Amino acid sequence: MDTTQRVLVLPQEPIGTINPYLHGHFAEHLGELVYPGVWVGEDSPIPNTGGIRNDVVDALRPLEIPVLRWPGGCFADTYHWRDGIGPREKRPMRINVHWGMAEEANQFGTHEFVAFCRALGAEPYFAANIGSSAPEEMRDWIEYCNFAGNSTLAGERRANGAAEPFHVQHWGVGNENWGCGGNMSPEEYAAAFARFRTFVFPYSGTPLDGIACGPNGPDWRWTRRVLETLGPGRRRLMKGFAAHYYCGTAGTATEYTEAQWLELLAKAAAMEGMVIGHRAVMDEFDPERKIGLIFDEWGAWHPVEPGKPRGGLYQQNTVRDACVAALTLDVFHNHADKLYMANVAQLINVLQSLLLVEEDRCLKTPTYHVFDLYRPHKGARAVRLISEAETVSDGGAARDQCRACYLDKRPFALRAVQGSASVRDGKLCVTAVNSHPTQAVELELEVRQARLETLEVVTLAADDIHAHNTFARPDVVRLSKPATVQADGPRVRVPLPPGGVVRLRGPLG
């Protein structure tokens, strides 16, 4: 492979604004995410504020998380919100039937979750139970959270310590209702969505987004039949349509060959086909794009780490997972005109997490550093980026997994360098991934019809493609210190290590 890999940026070809919601996150009652990842209780020796871990808040706050989804996941459609309000000593003990029959003491409920969101500066996104509840349960939850006037439910919220409404805007109407949320057909779910959504009202000036359960991966049939069944009148009830796509695994979280490295990255890059495919089907019914396409669960899914409960989904996080996150975020930026929100799964200790905690220790994973690196893209205007890099994988595994992901029949390939670009206030931000597991490249960036001057360069890389952070060595994988490079007119060259992720920022001339 030629070690020089060229990327062309066209600032005069805007795609759309990168909604900050595309950098959203997800926290399910699952494994060690909530207990002890977020909640340790007010009496814990672990430093906390109102029972919420200080180290976790301190680590996450700089990311400026825009939106956080809760309480599930599969947990959502067995969750009854009243279990998680009122005096904690009186809350019922339940069983988490989806995740290992674990005890659920409901110490972390609506008020605690909203407090966590406020500590992070994130908007709450609630996933409501439609699989094992009636419409009035969701309706009452919304009134409890959002009504500022005089009602029994608003009074109960005040009695429980919240004088002012929570103003929760984002409400998922069920979760994975094609599976753990009820094993419904598309027609059954469409009827359930319309029924529940009919009784969901905005209160006290809080806008309300009714988010419907979208497809699992490349299930075009689900998307088409839900929208078709709803018809034009009932489709107006839908603000968002939430798909899920997990690129899965190849090998294990920390043990994989070079071929398995490429296999997983190809599966991650196949997210582009998911976005294009489902938006194309949605456009047939919603050409004005009033319904936002959402991917509120995405990421890698490796076998559980040895010594951890199978139902807890605890896994390590390596530089390969960082590349999965970077490739996926680049896809979202390159299709910013097609997407409304996305939520990586999950926040702490579970699946592709940003943080791992153990007792009083907290570390940042390589995936955390990617979200940190990509922060300048949020709210900027995405512009077209063309990678002329060589192919390092034909994407066969990904193509087999998602079948005809590209409705326009383009061949699927994973290129050595892929990335995204955005512009804000005359400043260019480019992020790129070297997908090759062993070969460093020289990235040649060219900007069409503009000039570059000096650029700040920050890189995420490691000496080993299996590198990851542990509590004994928490900084094996971390961001480099910013460096400055001088451009040559419209071009600049920077080294990009194997499996590395880079960000270049600087003014456009």
Report the C-alpha gap between 320 and 432 in whole angstroms: 14
- How buried is residue 484: exposed, middle or buried, by Cβ count under 10 Å (0-12/13-18/19+)? exposed
> At CB < 8 A and 24+ separation, what contacts does 146-149 make?
146/202, 146/203, 146/204, 146/206, 146/208, 147/203, 147/204, 148/203, 148/204, 149/203, 149/204
Among 294, 442, 481, 459, CA closest to 370: 459
Q: Annotated catalytic sites, by residue?
A: 176, 297
Q: Which residue has the tokens 């409404």?
A: 165
Residue 11 tokens, joined: 């600032």
Query: Distance between CA atoms of 380 and 420, rounded to whole angstroms?
Result: 12
Please state the three-class secondary structure of 171-236 as a single string: EEECCCCCCCCCCCCHHHHHHHHHHHHHCCCCCCCCCCEEEEEEEECCCHHHHHHHHHHHHHHHHC
- For the CA atoms of 374, 8, 279, 17, the dihedral, rounded to the nearest 10 degrees, stands at 50
- Sign of the Cα torsion 279, 285, 286, 287 reads positive
